[in-house]
Structure 1
């Protein structure tokens, strides 16, 4: 699993903000577009792309994109 690809896929879940500066240390919930719908989009993207089920708790306890990536990586069987 490649972090750069993951960042790109996560950034694609945002429609109305500039995500070109997203890095592994980006606080992905700290922007005006963040909502429960964005969280659901990220959960669905991870399920579709990585066959990993994220929970609401996984999202809540994560601050950075790296945090989410680490959870997905730890749950991944690939």
Structure 2
């Protein structure tokens, strides 16, 4: 927690400093930046960007594959 909070506040400052200029120039569209940055890949897949190993690519699964994965997880927990 001691490391996470300073990083959170530092990243917040990087959005707050340009905010007045951004709102003056593009208005409400500046909110799209926050939406775009938070949508996309799963948290586990972010590690792949930094060279980590990804076991399951959740964003590329079909609905049927997701159901199969859910069933496998359920049976794994019960055993």
TM-score range, shorter chain: under 0.3
Structure of greater Rg: 2
Which structure has more helix as a fraction of its residues?
A: 2
Larger RCO (CA within 8 A; separation ≥ 6): 1
Q: TM-score, normalised by structure 1?
A: 0.26
